[in-house]
Homo-oligomer: A and B are copies of this chain.
Amino acid sequence: MQNLSVRTDADDVRRNDRRRRPVRPPSETAALRVLETVNLLSEDERALIRRLSLFRESIQSGRPFWRAGQSVGAKLVLSGWAARQRTLPDGRRQIFGFLIPGDVIGIGVAPSPLEEVSTVALTRVEAVDALMLREILALRDERHCRLLAALSQLRRQEEACLLDHIMRLGRQSALERTAHFLLEMHCRTRAAGLAQGDCFPLPLTQEVLADALGLSIVHLNRTLQQMKRDGLIELRSGWATICDRSHLEHLADYGPHDD
């Protein structure tokens, strides 16, 4: 794992026991993989993404990654995770979703309400300013049409995840929600080339997980323990493993919908 060129966020977690070395330049392959998954890109388009890497920035864990209503600006995540979240006056927090490597925010002609939601880094996040990308795409040059299509499909997947999230929060039990969420994250990390078979990075504390799933931290903990006890999943140091996929999928009603 360590010698792959993809720097995962869970690496951050697992490298805790060593002295932090100077930051290696993060590879842009995760970003490219996400987009490729969706749509094969031309060499022109890949080069465009790679050139962006010059405008790299690094956000510390816990710092805001994107401020609500940041009217101008656009970012492409190279590595690290962030959470879109909103907080009630009394402190209750709801997480709407996660940004993982290859995800993008602020691109797209029409502004999305998702960009009105503040986003906070959950690990160290390496990102590039994608304003240039946005402007290039706005020209609707034919050479970039596949990239454009890939990005707009990415946006559609994001919206589909919102719907799944509503289904989970409104009508599924703690166990079902958690199972469904883990399957979704496995799918997303796999698309980003971050997963290894049934094993995928999940650099989230139980508190964060609970705030995403609309559960208390204690109840989430018990739910996870039950899932481990039942041999459905394994969790350790920022990584999750799907042990019994078919059982999980059945439990969570995971898959395409036809009603």
Contact = CB atoms under 8 A, between A and B. Distances in A.
A92 B253 CA distance: 12
Contacts of A116: 160, 257
Contacts of A159: 112-114, 159, 162
Interface string A209-224: 0000110000000000
A151 to B, nearest CB: 11
- How many identical chains are in the complex? 2
A166 interface: yes
Contacts of A138: none
Given A96-B163, A163-B117, A170-B94, A86 B214 contact: no
A257 B166 contact: no
A214 B156 contact: no
A94 B214 CA distance: 16
Contacts of A86: 163, 167, 257, 259
Contacts of A152: 110
A96 B170 CA distance: 9
A257 B68 contact: yes
Contacts of A61: none
Contacts of A156: 110-113
Contacts of A172: 88, 92
A258 interface: yes
Interface string A167-199: 101111000000000000000000000000000
A46 interface: no
28 contacts: A68-B257, A68-B258, A85-B259, A86-B257, A87-B259, A88-B172, A88-B253, A89-B253, A92-B171, A93-B171, A94-B167, A96-B163, A110-B155, A112-B156, A112-B159, A113-B159, A113-B163, A118-B259, A159-B162, A162-B163, A162-B166, A165-B166, A166-B166, A166-B169, A169-B170, A169-B214, A170-B213, A170-B214
Interface of A: 68, 85-89, 92-94, 96, 110-114, 116-118, 152, 155-156, 159-160, 162-163, 165-167, 169-172, 213-214, 253, 257-259
Q: Which 4 residue pairs are nearest across A and B when measured between Cβ atoms?
A: A170-B214, A169-B169, A113-B160, A94-B170
